[in-house]
């Protein structure tokens, strides 16, 4: 089946620093990648949708200058949380949708747990 990896799995950082999270589709080409955030005991919240080679589309209320998304290739998208603050602590999950067989659904990465001190 289609596999999506995320790195790192968890990260602890100081307030004010930037954190980069990578999302990779390992065995298929992901034309579209999605970034979600999930706070404890809450639903997944879509942050942004990115298509390879074009700018990401952010959901309402998500600051695009704070959450920088780059989808430079068909297998890699990155989310950079700039100047992180404790309220950015959350579970960040990416998903990927490809073409052909992999276009039917979104395949999720294992998630990255971010803790900002």
Binding site for other proteins (CB under 8 A): 34, 43-44, 46, 49, 91, 93, 104-111, 113
Nearest Cα to Cα of residue 90 among 7, 10, 4: 10
Residue holding tokens 């700039």? 82
How far is it, in rounded angstroms, from Cα 97 to Cα 107? Answer: 7
Smallest distance from other proteins to CB 80, Å: 20
Sequential DSSP letters for 36-94: EEE-TTS--EEEEEEETTSPPEEPTT--TTTEEEEEEETTEEEEEE-S--GGG-EEEEE
CB nearer other proteins, residue 81 or residue 97: 97
User: Smallest distance from the beta carbon of 50 to other proteins, in angstroms?
Assistant: 13
Q: State which residue, 43 or 87, has the beta carbon closest to other proteins.
A: 43
Nearer to other proteins, 2 or 74 (CB): 2
Q: Which is nearer to other proteins, 52 or 91 (CB)?
A: 91
CB of 81 to other proteins, least distance (A): 18
């Amino acid at each position: 089946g289609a596999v999506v990896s995320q790195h790192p799995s968890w990260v602890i950082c100081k307030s004010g620093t930037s954190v980069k999270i990578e999302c990779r589709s390992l065995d298929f080409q992901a034309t579209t990648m999605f970034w979600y955030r999930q706070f404890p005991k809450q639903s997944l919240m879509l942050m942004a949708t990115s298509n390879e080679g074009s700018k990401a589309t952010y959901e309402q209320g998500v600051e695009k200058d704070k959450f920088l998304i780059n989808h430079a290739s068909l297998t890699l998208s990155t989310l950079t949380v700039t100047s992180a603050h404790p309220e950015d602590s959350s579970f960040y999950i990416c998903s990927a949708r490809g073409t052909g067989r992999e276009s039917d659904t979104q395949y999720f990465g294992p998630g990255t747990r971010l803790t900002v001190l």
